[in-house]
Each structure stands twice: as structure tokens, then as C-alpha cells.
Structure 1
Amino acid sequence: MSDQGSLDLRVQPRVAEAIADGTPLWWKIQSLVSSSDDLFIKKLSRNDTSWADDTGKHQAGFYIPRPIREQGFFPDLIASNPDKPHIFHAEFNVLWPQTGETTLSGMRHYSNKGPETHFTRLPHTLFRNLTPASLLLSGKFKATIAGCWYWMIVLDSADEEAELLETVLDIQSGFHYALFSAAQFEEASRLQQDDKHELIDRLQHAIRNGSLESTAREYANLPSPQIIAEDARAQWLRKHGLDHFDPWLIARPGDAIMEISRDIEFTLYRKYELRRRAAELVALLSGKGDLVTSVVNHFPDIDRLLLSASQQRKTRAGRSFEHHIAASLEAGGIRFVEQAVTGGRRPDFVMPDLRTLQSRNRAPSEALVLAAKTTLRERWKQVSSERMDCEVLLATVDDRVAASTVNEMAAAGIRLVVPESLKASNETDYRTSASVISFRQFFDSELKASRPFLLR
């Protein structure tokens, strides 16, 4: 049974303030982390959450992977029933800051059934209607609060807090679960410390000798998206001992594209981005009175600068994805054209060419359109199979697309192409959908088997 009630947090006023209603969730997380030693983060699978939306078919709770159970984050499991020595269990109080309640939660492991441990007795509302690839964040307090050693927060992957957590801890595209120290969270950096110190020294030196304006101009020149994309692919090829980004030689081309665009290239980009935006902010605020006055007076300029940075980051991500798909098609000897204008549209990739696509005498199978979007949301509706008279496929590395959206796209005549690991994952809604194929299937079935004339 749940042991729920109001919280007595008088011994921890800072945490009590963070948990209070109306406090932004990210502030709550920061305060809770500062009162914790270790963190556990898991990308929730569909089995971890489906019970909340369909309580009649699944036991309530999520699964704790065996490696996590054995690393000492959670209490040790014991077998206390001599008649059932295969059942190991533990019970402990958990604080749920999003609802302000505590639960006497349980862990149960059936050693005769498998390696995973089931975590039960928890607030159902937090697990309902979650977007695929949402996150569970848990911490172990340094000292008990409200009788609890543990706290847990559920982050919907469609919300900004999930993106912030992934950013702070540099969570990569292939992440499933891991333990982190609270120090990692608090000290996590987008750059290595040496790089950051070098940037600070450079800007401070520029302020002292009056060269801040020229330094800001120097950092303003970011490498072109194509150059950064090429550098990222070169890193990936070196790592895997390959000379060419050939999809016929790469076992999982979609996973390769995802790793390069979401992980390697973004790491490169944010290094340049920090230099540019930090220099712009310093130049904007330097020499204009005290810091508070300068920030208040120039807030509109700061707001515009940060908005520009956000928009550029999103645009770069989209172009990055397209660059790597194009490189894969080119290396694979596939006939295509990019951004061909047709009827007011500009499909990302037309195969084999625009003339064939616009021909009135061709069969529908003689042309193919491939669109590319890193994230979908409602943007997939910009891609339409109408008036194309050919197969339209949409490539993405978005692991947050719900089954209802997949079905809606299928009804509109659009099939998804996703990385191999996302197609097979229990954390997405792609696995059982016939209208979702992997990049491997795209190259093998849609091109080589069904349209060999597209290969040079």
C-alpha cells in the first residue's frame, strides 16, 4: 500500500522551497541534486509506462536494469520468505516532488524469471500519456528528507526540462540508462575546462588591451555547416577505421548518421557557438556601467542574441542531418538531386532527378522523394505525397514520435525512415509499425531491391 501524505521539510527549507507548487521544475531539479550524492537516469521504455495508460493489462511500475540494481544505488534486495527463496524484495520511502507526495515503494526481483527488477507503488499520474523516450530522474539524498532517502521525477521528452537534462549531462543519442554523481550534474560543461579557461583568459585580455571588438568579430565567423559536418564524419570514419561513408559497407547507416549529427557534430558546433555567443555578450555588456544596470538596460539586446542563437542551433541541426544523408547517398552511388524546386515545393532529395519526377509518362515507382527532419512534431505535415505521384519517405532521428502520429502519417501516404536502433527500440513506438523502416531497409529494399535503376 502507498504511504502518502504531506511533507514535513522544515529541516531542509531550501528543498522545501524548491518543491513548493509554482516553482519551475528545473529549479526543483537543481535544488534536489544539490542535496543528493548520486543520480539514476533511465530512458523509459513503452513497458515502463504502458501500464499507466492501460491499467488492466500491465502491473504498475517500471523496470530497473540489473547493472543498476547491482551498483548499490538502490537498497539491497533480500529473500525473506523461506517458502519462496527466488523472490527478492526491498521497500523504502520515495519523495515525488512533482506531486508533493511520498510513497512506500517496492522493488521486486523474481530470480527465476529474468534479470530485471520491478519498481512498484508509485504515482500513476506521472506516467500517463508520456511521449516516447521520456526520462526518469532519481536521486539519493545525502540525508533523509521527509523520511525519504530517494526522490524521483518523470520528464516528458517533449518538454524542455528533458532537453536541458540531456544537454547538461551531454547524454548521447544511444543512451538507455546510467548512474551519475551529483557533482557531474553540477560541474558538467559543454567544453573541456582547459578550453573554457582559455576562452575566459582571451576575453579578459581583450578587455584589458581594448581589442574586445576585434576579438568578437574573430569569433563571429563560425565554420560553415558543411565544413563542420565534414569534420564530424571524418571523426566517425577514423573511429571505425573506414575510408568512405558508404551505406553498403556500413552495417547500420542510420545509426551512423544519428551519432554523427546528434553527438559528434553537435559537440564540435557548441564549441564554436560558445566562443561566438560569449564574446558577443561580453562585448554587449562590457564598459557600460555596473553589471546589473548593464543587464537591465540591454535586456532586449540580450534577448535577441539568445533567440538568434537558439534559431541558428535548430537550423544547423536540420542542415546537418541533410548533409550526412546526402554524403551517404553520394558515397553509395545513388542518383539524386537536393533541394529541387517543383511546383512551389523544395523536396530535400529527389531520386533520380527532377526531370523524371515531373515526367507525365513515368510510372509511380520510377521516382522517389525523401524528406529529412531531425524532429517532427507537427512539421511532418509540410511533407505531402499529394501531387507527387510517387513514394514519399520521411527520414528522422526523432525518438519521441507517438504511435498516433505514425498512423496519421501513414494515412497521409508517408512512411518514416529511422536509425536502426530506434526501429528496434522498446523506448519508441516504431518497432511494430509497418509504416516505419530503418535506413538499412531503405537502402536494401527501397533502393537496391525495388529500384536498382537508381544506383549508378
Structure 2
Amino acid sequence: MDEYGGPEFVWFLKRLSGNDTLENKAHQAGPYIPREVMFGFFPSLNRPVEKNPDLWFDLYVDSDPDHQRVRAVWYNNKLHGTKDGRNETRFTNFGGQASALLDPESTGALTIFAFRKVDPPGLPDCHVWVCRHGTEEDLVEDHVGPIEPGKGQLWPPQQGNLRSIKNAIQWVAAGCRISEAEIPDAWRIKFPTGAEIIQTAVKMRPDLGLNPDKRLMRRRDCEFQIFRSVEQWVEMPHIQAGFPTVDDFVARAQTILQRRKARSGRSLELHTRQIFLEERLVEGTHFTHQPVSEDGKRPDFLFPSVSAYRDPLFPKDRLRMLAVKTTCRDRWRQILNEAERVPAKHLLTLQEGVSEAQFGEMTRAGVQLVVPAGIMKNFPTTVQPHLQTLESFIGDVRLLPLG
């Protein structure tokens, strides 16, 4: 971060998915990079009349360390009439899972790609850091803000010819951006809570005809865009006005980053609660949100209720616990001591895959992964049959006897 965080570098950050690594044995062997990002760093790769254009450049994985001459390729078969062809850009030719970028155990890892700025037609070299544990990920996110599965980010966000790509790599939910005129006056005085933004997303994306899995994913994308829109309109006047001291600037930046982290940490949990209510689960009867199970322990959800959990006569096999974590690569162990009366722990995550070895470790520890149906394809084929969708989990807890 010190060596490659200067003004001569631009970072692209993402969490490695099962399609990036060799974890799900897909044909793609290398990290997916959005086209807008790839063409920004390698404009000479943007040759649509040529089938699958490519180029080679130096990539250094400093976290391991490793140096490779790797390939940037635009798989554009779809533009050339190939049925079911691809239209995506990737880095390939890493030499197999000996590379940290292809190691199945790197699935879910927060990764920095630091590109050195060069003038065309020069090719930038790239220095990579694959975070090895949660402490490293926290250090990175303290610097740039939260990086969620499936959403890449540039840092700094605005970079010359890369200025226009930020929206493209954050999967914009069309129609969820809020204009300056649409912001409630109260939100200008006090930044809205996560619950307030989520309720706005629910109004913009009611989606009651969709199953819970699709509803969850669409609303989270919508809520993210609402949050960033409000942040833009609320914070830009302060930024444009300038700061009397460096300390004032740093304090404002820290406020923004901490707000982003707080939003990321609670968003999935609050969306899940909203969907439980829409699916006619009654809070206090069918589930309890954020109860105290034991002293100092507060699971996200208990089923059917905290009173049933605390009743020593209520059978353990009729109790359920659901933890909610956007990523689970290193954090799944945190739930093992929550709700001691519930031997099997359910964990809802948006992480795009885990390695077979890690899934085996979770299973042996009594953790059942709950994954929205749309991202199950990122998991190994051997793991997919053992995952549970959110819709299926809700169906199961509906059948729990209440007394």
C-alpha cells in the first residue's frame, strides 16, 4: 500500500470469485476484469474487428511473491457470430494454481491490482496483492472503503480516461439513482440511516412477484445506488467548498469511509429481515432479530423466537440460527459460538464461491451455507448440491413448530 499507493499508480480492487480462480474448474482461468477497466489500462486491446485480441504484460504478485508475463485477452466471440459466445476481458496464463490468483483457497480474497500509469502505446506493469486474511482486508478497506463481492472499484475513483468506468463496474441498478431534487430535506441535515435507505429501495423495487433470492439481489444493487447518490449530493458541497486544514479534510474523509463500512456491514442483514416480513414471518413469533442468546452473544436471527431459545424445555432440534455475512472466507468461524443451543449454524453470504477444502471445514464445524440462487454457479459443482437458497431456508423455518 505504501510502495504502490502513490500518484503514479491506479488501483483496481475486487474479491476473487470462483470463476476467477480454479476453484469451480471453469474454462476461464484467470481474473475477470470489466471491459471498461481493461480498455482504460490497455487501450490497444480494444480491437473489435479482431477475434479474441490479446497482449502480454508483466504482472507481479507481491503478496507471495511471483512474477509472470501474463496475457490480457478480450474474448469477443459473441461479436463474431459465435452462438453463446463470450464478450468479456480477463487476465490469463498464470501457470496453474501455483499462482495465488488461481489458487482455489484465494476464492473470496480481496485483491489489489496496482497499475503503473503510462502513456499509450506503452503497457503498464501491474503489482498485485492477494489479501491472505481478514486483518489485511481490514487494512485495505480502511483505506478505500468496503469492497463487496461482484463489485469492483477503482482507487482513486476518477482517473483521466478511466473517469467514466466507475458506474460500469459497480453494476448500476437502472432507475435507482436519486437526483439532487429528490433528496428529502431531512437527509441533507442528517445522513439517512441504513433502514431508511433500504425502505426507499423497497419502494423503488417492490418485486413482490420475485422469489426471495432475486428480490434480495435486486434490492441490494438498488440500495447501493441510492446510498451513493445521496452521498454524492450531500458530500460534494463540502468537498467543493474546500477545507481550512488538512486535519479537517482527513476527518471528513474518515467519516465518509466509516459510513460506507457501516452501510456494507448492516445492509444484507436489514434486507433479509425485510424479506422475512414480506414472506409472512412474524417478528417475535417466527423469528427474533438481533437477540441476546447468551451474555455477550447476539446472533443475527433466531427461529422461532428468543423465548423459545431460552426455554430449556423447547427441543433443540426445532431451533434455528441464521448469521448474515456479506463475505465468509475468514469470518465464518465468528458464528460458531453464537447461540450455543443451536448445533447447526446457518450462514447467509454473498461471497461468490468457497474452496472445496474450506467448505469441508465449514461442514465439519456444523455450518450450512445459504446462498442466493443466482450466485450458486460460482461454487464448485461438488459443493452446489449442499448449498441452500434463501427461499428454501424460509420454507424450512415456516415448518418449525412454535410450541
Segments of structure 2 that go 5 or more residues without pairing to the other structure are 37-44, 62-66, 153-158
User: Relative to 1, partners in 2 of residues 1:105 and 1:348: Cα closer, same or farther, differing over 3 Å?
Assistant: closer
CA positional deviation for 1:96: 2.6
Residue 397 of structure 2 is matched in structure 1 by: 447
Q: Which is further off, 306-315 or 275-284?
A: 275-284
Residue 232 of structure 2 is matched in structure 1 by: 274
CA positional deviation for 1:151: 7.5
Which of 101, 123, 129 in structure 2 is aligned with 1:127?
Answer: 101
**Aligned pairs for 1:209-288 within 5 A:** 219-237=188-206, 242=207, 244=208, 249-251=209-211, 253-261=212-220, 263-280=221-238, 285=243, 288=244
User: Relative to 1, partners in 2 of residues 1:430 and 1:319: Cα closer, same or farther, differing over 3 Å?
Assistant: farther
> Residue 305 of structure 1 aligns to a residue in which SS?
helix
Partner amino acid for 1:420?
A: A
TM-score between the two structures when normalised by the length of structure 1: 0.58
Which of 371, 388, 400 in structure 2 is aligned with 1:437?
Answer: 388
Residue 372 of structure 1 is matched in structure 2 by: 324
1:363 and 2:315 correspond: yes
Q: Which is further off, 94-103 or 306-315?
A: 94-103
Which of 7, 15, 24 in structure 1 is aligned with 2:5?
Answer: 24
What do the CA deviations read for 1:7-61 (whole angstroms, capped 9, x no partner)? xxxxxxxxxxxxxx9433995347xx9xxxxxxx99976465329x9xxx99995
TM-score between the two structures when normalised by the length of structure 2: 0.64
Aligned identity (percent) is 19
- Partners of 1:310 and 1:63 lie apart in 2 by 26
- Partners of 1:435 and 1:350 lie apart in 2 by 22
1:304 and 2:251 correspond: yes
Aligned length: 349
Residue 327 of structure 1 is matched in structure 2 by: 274
| Preserved CA contact (<8 Å) 2:14 2:150 | no
> Residue 9 of structure 2 aligns to a residue in which SS?
helix
- Partners of 1:275 and 1:94 lie apart in 2 by 41
- Between structure 1 and structure 2, the one with the greater Rg is 1
Q: Which is further off, 341-350 or 380-389?
A: 380-389
Partner amino acid for 1:366?
A: R
- Partners of 2:73 and 2:308 lie apart in 1 by 62
> Residue 398 of structure 1 aligns to a residue in which SS?
coil
CA positional deviation for 1:225: 2.1
> Residue 21 of structure 2 aligns to a residue in which SS?
helix
- Partners of 2:357 and 2:194 lie apart in 1 by 34
**Aligned pairs for 1:312-351 within 5 A:** 312-334=259-281, 335-344=286-295, 345-351=297-303
Residue 6 of structure 1 is matched in structure 2 by: none
Partner amino acid for 2:292?
A: V
CA RMSD of aligned residues (A): 5.4
Structure number with the bigger relative contact order (C-alpha 8 A, sep ≥ 6) is 2
| Preserved CA contact (<8 Å) 1:336 1:350 | yes
- Partners of 1:317 and 1:126 lie apart in 2 by 26
- Partners of 1:358 and 1:228 lie apart in 2 by 33
CA positional deviation for 1:196: 11
Residue 50 of structure 1 is matched in structure 2 by: 22
- Partners of 1:26 and 1:443 lie apart in 2 by 49
| Preserved CA contact (<8 Å) 2:15 2:150 | no
Q: Name the structure with the higher helix share.
A: 1
| Preserved CA contact (<8 Å) 1:155 1:161 | no
Partner amino acid for 1:441?
A: S
CA positional deviation for 1:355: 1.6
- Partners of 1:362 and 1:276 lie apart in 2 by 50
- Partners of 1:188 and 1:58 lie apart in 2 by 27
> Residue 219 of structure 2 aligns to a residue in which SS?
helix
User: Relative to 1, partners in 2 of residues 1:398 and 1:24: Cα closer, same or farther, differing over 3 Å?
Assistant: same
What do the CA deviations read for 1:148-173 (whole angstroms, capped 9, x no partner)? 6x988878588699989x999x9995
User: Relative to 1, partners in 2 of residues 1:366 and 1:43: Cα closer, same or farther, differing over 3 Å?
Assistant: closer
User: Relative to 1, partners in 2 of residues 1:233 and 1:154: Cα closer, same or farther, differing over 3 Å?
Assistant: farther
> Residue 270 of structure 2 aligns to a residue in which SS?
helix
Residue 422 of structure 1 is matched in structure 2 by: 375
Partner amino acid for 1:397?
A: L
- Partners of 1:259 and 1:418 lie apart in 2 by 15
| Preserved CA contact (<8 Å) 1:26 1:161 | no
> Residue 309 of structure 2 aligns to a residue in which SS?
helix
CA positional deviation for 1:265: 0.8
Q: Which is further off, 329-338 or 428-437?
A: 428-437
Segments of structure 1 that go 5 or more residues without pairing to the other structure are 1-20, 34-40, 78-89, 176-181, 200-214, 289-293
What do the CA deviations read for 1:250-305 (whole angstroms, capped 9, x no partner)? 33x223213312x21121112222344445556772xx4xxxxx33xx2xx43333
Which of 384, 388, 398 in structure 1 is aligned with 2:351?
Answer: 398
- Partners of 1:409 and 1:228 lie apart in 2 by 33
CA positional deviation for 1:337: 1.6
Q: Which is further off, 333-342 or 388-397?
A: 388-397
> Residue 302 of structure 1 aligns to a residue in which SS?
helix
